[in-house]
Amino acid sequence: AQTVTQSQPEMSVQEAETVTLSCTYDTSENNYYLFWYKQPPSRQMILVIRQEAYKQQNATENRFSVNFQKAAKSFSLKISDSQLGDTAMYFCAFMKRNTGTASKLTFGTGTRLQVTL
Amino acid sequence: DVKVTQSSRYLVKRTGEKVFLECVQDMDHENMFWYRQDPGLGLRLIYFSYDVKMKEKGDIPEGYSVSREKKERFSLILESASTNQTSMYLCASGESYEQFFGPGTRLTVL
């Protein structure tokens, strides 16, 4: 079974600064995906970024980037130039690469990020 | 645009009631999922379905059942609601590695 650990329950960052959210995972699988999801106060869960384990290059999406360390089983999210709209709960998630039946997500416990003026 | 809708944003029920939570997707996805979200526990998978009438248990299926009679609709059923089922329930649908989430239903069982 897979486990995902987010050790920072809450974080705060000032607007325009950079913040890094940590995530570690444990798996015996070799082919998998890792995700960061954002859940703002409106509750709609939104995908922020996805990393495929077989790709060495770290994924980036505009101000969001990851530091994927496969050997260390670490997957951190860096948010640059933080904006007030980045205030949300952030979840790290793991998915085994699957063929056949549906692929399931395993989530961490979340990090609540507050962006302040 | 991708759309997953859930029948209620907020729901209050009494202990022992039978509760139905409905989820509808308009993307013709094969796979649909029900998660439960609790503070400090993240999201946990209750049940999922990979085709009409096909279902599999997730990590915490006890006290729940599901129904998928049509491809676009996936229902979560609490046969006899209990106070420990007070939670946020999120539905998702997707293909391959993608999952799209609904807005969630906050259920309170009194």
pLDDT at B2 over 80: no
A103 with B96: Cβ contact below 8 A: yes
Read off the pLDDT of residues A40-72 as tens digits, 9 standing for 90 and up.
988 889 999 999 999 989 999 999 999 999 999
CATH of the domain at B44: 2.60.40.10
Cβ atoms within 10 A of the Cβ of A111, count? 22
Q: How far apart are CA A96 and CA A32, in angstroms?
A: 4
pLDDT at B79 over 70: yes
A102 with B101: Cβ contact below 8 A: no
pLDDT at B36 over 90: yes
Q: How far is B38 from chain A (nearest CA, A)?
A: 9
Q: How far is B104 from chain A (nearest CA, A)?
A: 7
Could you tell me how many CB contacts below 8 A there are between chain A and chain B? 53
Give the nearest chain B residue to A51 (CA atoms): B97
Residue A35 pLDDT class (50, 70, 90 cuts): very high
Q: Which residues of B fall within a CB distance of 8 Å from A55? A: none
Q: What is the pLDDT of residue A98?
A: 75
Pick the CATH number of A3-116 from 1.10.150.240, 2.60.40.10, 3.90.580.10, 3.40.30.10: 2.60.40.10
